[in-house]
Amino acid sequence: MAKGFNSRGMGGMGGMNMNMMKQVQKMQQDMLKLQEELEQKTYTAAAGGGAVSATVTGKRVVQSLTIDPDAVDPEEVEMLQDMIIAAVNEALRAAESDTASTMSQLTGGLNLPF
């Protein structure tokens, strides 16, 4: 028998590799489950003191947009547009932040791309 090898494979490392593979598979399953849960969540943000609010899904899709009728001024269309963009972007940031935080808890701080 060659040095460093035994009946269990390369220096007894086979068992450790199998254990590591099981852990990786479990982490993958947990990540898929969390991704599905995050995609079902909704995130709402407001702008303009609540004059405009947007709700997005975890899939980064705008689900609803609410505009206070008092915010609709024909001479202030640009400001209304800016408020809509701000509300949508803030809701998207909230979804992204929640996803990153949740995944970070699962991976123990490993910087894995999601």
Please check whether residue 56 is in contact with residue 43, taking contact to mean a CB–CB distance below 8 angstroms.
Answer: yes
pLDDT of residue 24: 85
Q: Which two tokens stand for residue 40?
A: 């079902």
**Is a pLDDT exceeding 60 seen at residue 11?**
no
Strands 9-10 and 42-47: unpaired
**Is a pLDDT exceeding 80 seen at residue 114?**
no
Three-state SS for 68?
Answer: coil
Average model confidence (pLDDT) across the chain: 84
**Long-range contacts of residues 92-95, Cβ cutoff 8 Å, at least 24 apart:** 92/43, 92/56, 92/60, 93/45, 94/43, 94/45, 95/38, 95/41, 95/43, 95/56, 95/57, 95/58, 95/60
Q: Which domains does the chain have, with CATH numbers?
A: 13-107 (3.30.1310.10)
pLDDT of residue 103: 81
Q: Which two tokens stand for residue 43?
A: 């995130």
Predicted TM-score (pTM) above 0.85: no
